[in-house]
C-alpha cells in the first residue's frame, strides 16, 4: 500500500509521514511534560508554555497529516475508478462477458473502497508509530535498562505476531474471492426476483444452494480472518501487561530503582498501549487493502492485455457515408453452457447496401443475435472478413467501425440522459409525440424527466435515442416483442419505412411473420447456417 501511494504522489506521502511523525513525537513529549509536572522535575514556570505549545503542535500537525492524505486518497480513488472504467470501455466485449458483471462491479466498489479505507488510516499509523518511538526515547532517558526490557518485549511481540500473519491473510483472500460469488447471487436475486416469486421451489433452491451458501462461506472466511487478527491482537495485549508486571514487580528485585522512574514508566507505557493497539488493529485493514489492490491491479493488467491500439483517425469520419457492408466467410464459435456443447455460426456470406430493410429470422438458438453481434463489431470473427465501404474491418479500426451502428438489444439498457447526441428540442418533442410518450416524459437539459416506465415505453424511449444518434445502420433485436398491437403496427409500417426512406439500412430480428412482406429480403438462420434468403410477399397475395 505504501509503495502504491508513493507512486501516486511521493511528495504528498513524505509530507504525510513527516507531519504524522511530528504529531506523534509531540504527543510523546506532551506525556513527558505531564509526567514531569507530576514529579516536579522541571521548572514550574516553563511547564505551562511547553504544555500549550506541544498541544498546538499535536493538533496542527495531526490535522495537516490527515488533510494531505485524505486529499490524496480521494484523488487516488477517483483516478482508479476512472482508469478501470476506461479500461472496461476499451476492452473487447467478449472478454468483458467472460469476466462477468459482478466481478467488474466488485472491483469498482468493494476493492477500491478497501484501498481508500487503508490509505486514510496511514496518518493514524504514522502518528501512533511516532508516539511509540517518542515514548521509547523518553523511557530510555528515564532508564535505559528498563527501556531494553520493554524494547525486547515489543520486538518479541512483533516477531511472534508476524508468524501467525499468514493464517488471517489466507482467510481474507478467501473471503474476497467468495464476495465475487456473493455479488453474482445478489445480481441474480435483484434481476430475477419475478421468476423467483413465481416458482417457490426454484426460490427455495436458489436461496439454499446459491445465495445462502455463498453468504455463509463469506461469513465463515470473514469471521475466521477477524478472529485470527483478534487472537494476534490479544497476544500483543498480553505481552504489554506482562511488560508492566515485569517493570512493577520483577525488575525491582534485580536492581534498586527510583519509584518515580517506575511510576513514570508505568504512566508512559499505559499511554503507549493505545497507540500499540491501534497499530496492531490496523493490520486487518491493510491486509484487506493489499488483497483488493492485488485484485484491481490484476483486473487492470488483464484488461490492458486485451486492448489493441485503435486507429488515431477522427471517429467522426466513420459515419460520413455508407455504400456497403459485406461479411465474407465469417464464423464464430462459443460454448453453450445449458446444452453443454459448442455452437458455431457460419461460414456466413452476406451483403448489405444503403436504404435496405432486412429481416433476420429463425428459431430460438439459431444464432440470430450472435450474427448481429458480429455484424456490429462487438464480436470478432474467428475466420473470414468484414468489409465496410470496401475497407476491411480489423482491430485497428474496429472502434471506428462500431460508431456506424445504432442498436436496441433485446436486453437493452436505457440511460437517463442523452449522452453524446444532439437533443434539439423540436426534434425530441416531435419524436416523443409520435411515440406517444409526450405525456410521460420530457427532456430537460438533455435528461429524461423519468425512465420509470413500462418495458414497452422504455423501448420506445430507446428508439427515440436511436433516432437522435442518426447512424447509417440500425439493428433492432425483437424490439416489437413488448409493444401492444397499435405500436407494433406503427413500428413496422411507419417507423421502419421512414428510416429506409432516409437511406438508413435496417436489420430487424423478429418473429412477427405478418410483417415480413415489408422487408427487401428475409434471411433465415437455422443452427448457425443461412438456409434461405428471399423476398417475402404480403399475406393474401
Q: Give the model confidence (pLDDT) of 11-57 as tens digits.
A: 777 787 788 778 777 777 777 777 677 666 666 677 777 888 888 88
pLDDT for 37 equals 76
Give the integer Cα–Cα distance in Å for 327 and 352.
Answer: 9
Q: Which of 152, 354, 23, 300 shows the shortest CA–CA distance to 15?
A: 23
Q: Per residue in 235-291, pLDDT tens? A: 777 877 777 777 777 766 666 666 667 777 777 777 777 777 777 777 777 877 888
Contacts for 243-252: CB closer than 8 Å, 24+ residues apart: 243/149, 243/150, 243/153, 243/269, 244/269, 244/270, 246/149, 246/153, 247/146, 247/149, 247/150, 251/145, 251/146, 251/149
DSSP state of 417: B
Contact by Cβ (8 Å): 481, 503: no
Q: Which of 311, 303, 278 shows the shortest CA–CA distance to 103?
A: 303
- 2-306 folds as ABC transporter transmembrane region fold (1.20.1560)
Q: Per residue in 42-54, pLDDT tens? A: 666 777 778 888 8
Q: Per residue in 518-540, pLDDT tens? A: 999 999 999 889 998 888 776 55
> What is the CATH number that goes with domain 315-534?
3.40.50.300
Q: Supply the pTM of this predicted model.
A: 0.70
Cell for 255? 536492581
The predicted model gives 207-236 an average pLDDT of 83
In the structure, what pLDDT confidence band is assigned to residue 82 with cuts at 50, 70 and 90?
confident
Residue 508 vs residue 285, higher pLDDT: 508
Q: Is 107 a residue whose pLDDT tops 50?
A: yes
pLDDT for 424 equals 58
**If you average pLDDT over each of 98-112, 223-237, 335-349, 479-493, which comes out highest?**
479-493
Of 124-128, 392-396, 447-451, 498-502, the range with the lowest mean pLDDT is 124-128
Q: Is 514 a residue whose pLDDT tops 50?
A: yes
Mean pLDDT over each residue of the chain, to the nearest integer = 80
Report the DSSP pairing between strands 447-448 and 473-477.
unpaired
Give the integer Cα–Cα distance in Å for 192 and 196.
Answer: 6
Break the chain into its structural domains and give their ranges: 2-306, 315-534
Query: What does the DSSP assignment read for 355-403?
Result: T-EEEEEE-TTSSHHHHHHHHHTSS--SEEEEEETTEEP-TTTHHHHHT
Contact by Cβ (8 Å): 508, 358: yes
Q: For the chain, give the percent of residues with pLDDT over 90.
A: 17
Q: Is 474 a residue whose pLDDT tops 80?
A: yes
Q: For the chain, give the percent of residues with pLDDT over 70.
A: 88
pLDDT for 256 equals 64
Residue 314 gets the label, from left (phi > 0), alpha (psi -120 to 50) or beta, of beta
Give the integer Cα–Cα distance in Å for 159 and 366.
Answer: 64
Reduced to 3 states, what is the DSSP secondary structure of residue 160?
helix
Report the DSSP pairing between strands 383-388 and 391-392.
antiparallel
CA dihedral 139, 142, 144, 148 (to 10 degrees): -30
Q: Is 316 a residue whose pLDDT tops 60?
A: no
In the structure, what pLDDT confidence band is assigned to residue 132 with cuts at 50, 70 and 90?
confident
In the structure, what pLDDT confidence band is assigned to residue 313 with cuts at 50, 70 and 90?
very low
Amino acid at each position: 500500500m505504501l509503495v502504491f501511494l508513493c507512486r501516486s504522489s511521493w511528495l504528498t506521502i513524505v509530507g504525510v509521514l513527516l507531519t504524522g511523525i511530528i504529531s506523534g513525537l509531540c504527543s510523546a513529549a506532551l506525556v513527558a511534560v505531564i509526567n514531569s509536572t507530576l514529579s516536579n522535575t522541571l521548572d514550574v514556570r516553563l511547564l505551562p508554555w511547553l504544555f500549550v505549545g506541544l498541544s498546538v503542535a499535536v493538533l496542527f500537525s495531526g490535522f495537516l497529516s490527515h488533510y494531505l492524505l485524505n486529499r490524496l486518497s480521494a484523488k487516488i480513488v477517483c483516478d482508479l475508478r476512472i482508469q478501470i472504467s476506461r479500461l472496461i470501455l476499451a476492452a473487447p466485449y467478449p472478454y468483458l462477458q467472460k469476466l462477468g458483471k459482478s466481478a467488474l462491479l466488485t472491483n469498482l466498489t468493494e476493492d477500491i473502497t478497501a484501498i481508500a479505507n487503508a490509505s486514510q488510516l496511514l496518518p493514524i499509523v504514522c502518528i501512533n508509530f511516532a508516539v511509540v518511538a517518542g515514548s521509547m526515547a523518553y523511557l530510555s532517558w528515564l532508564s535505559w535498562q528498563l527501556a531494553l526490557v520493554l524494547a525486547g518485549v515489543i520486538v518479541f511481540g512483533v516477531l511472534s505476531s508476524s508468524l501467525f500473519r499468514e493464517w488471517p491473510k489466507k482467510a481474507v483472500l478467501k473471503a474476497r474471492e467468495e464476495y465475487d460469488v456473493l455479488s453474482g447471487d445478489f445480481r441474480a436475486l435483484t434481476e430475477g426476483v419475478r421468476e423467483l416469486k413465481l416458482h417457490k421451489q426454484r426460490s427455495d433452491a436458489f436461496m439454499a444452494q446459491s445465495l445462502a451458501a455463498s453468504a455463509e462461506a463469506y461469513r465463515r472466511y470473514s469471521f475466521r480472518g477477524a478472529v485470527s487478527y483478534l487472537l494476534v491482537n490479544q497476544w500483543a495485549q498480553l505481552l504489554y501487561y506482562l511488560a508492566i508486571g515485569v517493570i512493577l514487580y520483577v525488575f525491582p528485585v534485580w536492581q534498586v530503582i527510583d519509584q518515580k522512574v517506575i511510576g513514570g514508566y508505568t504512566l508512559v507505557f499505559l499511554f503507549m498501549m493505545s497507540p500499540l493497539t491501534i497499530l496492531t488493529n490496523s493490520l486487518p485493514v491493510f491486509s484487506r487493502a493489499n488483497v483488493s489492490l492485488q485484485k484491481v491491479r490484476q483486473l487492470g493488467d488483464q484488461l490492458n492485455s486485451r486492448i489493441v491500439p485503435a486507429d488515431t483517425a477522427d471517429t467522426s469520419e466513420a459515419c460520413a457515408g455508407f455504400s456497403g457492408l459485406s461479411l465474407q466467410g465469417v464464423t464464430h464459435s462459443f460454448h453453450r453452457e445449458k446444452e453443454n456443447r459448442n455452437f458455431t455460426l457460419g461460414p456466413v456470406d452476406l451483403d448489405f447496401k444503403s436504404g435496405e430493410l432486412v429481416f433476420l429470422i429463425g428459431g430460438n438458438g439459431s444464432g440470430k443475435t450472435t450474427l448481429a453481434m458480429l455484424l456490429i463489431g462487438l464480436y470478432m470473427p474467428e475466420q473470414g472478413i468484414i468489409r465496410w465501404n470496401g475497407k476491411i474491418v480489423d482491430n485497428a479500426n474496429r472502434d471506428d467501425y462500431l460508431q456506424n451502428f445504432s442498436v436496441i438489444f433485446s436486453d437493452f439498457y436505457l440511460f437517463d440522459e442523452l449522452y453524446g447526441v444532439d437533443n434539439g428540442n423540436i426534434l425530441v418533442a416531435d419524436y416523443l409525440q409520435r411515440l406517444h410518450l409526450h405525456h410521460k416524459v420530457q427532456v430537460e437539459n438533455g435528461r429524461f424527466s423519468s425512465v420509470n416506465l413500462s418495458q414497452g415505453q422504455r423501448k420506445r424511449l430507446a428508439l427515440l435515442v436511436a433516432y437522435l444518434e442518426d447512424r447509417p445502420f440500425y439493428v433492432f433485436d425483437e424490439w416489437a416483442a413488448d409493444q401492444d398491437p397499435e405500436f407494433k403496427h406503427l413500428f413496422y409500417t411507419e417507423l421502419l419505412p421512414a428510416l429506409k426512406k432516409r437511406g438508413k439500412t435496417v436489420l430487424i430480428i423478429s418473429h412477427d411473420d405478418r410483417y415480413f412482406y415489408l422487408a427487401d429480403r428475409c434471411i433465415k438462420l437455422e443452427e448457425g447456417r443461412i438456409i434461405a434468403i428471399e423476398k417475402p410477399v404480403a399475406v393474401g397475395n
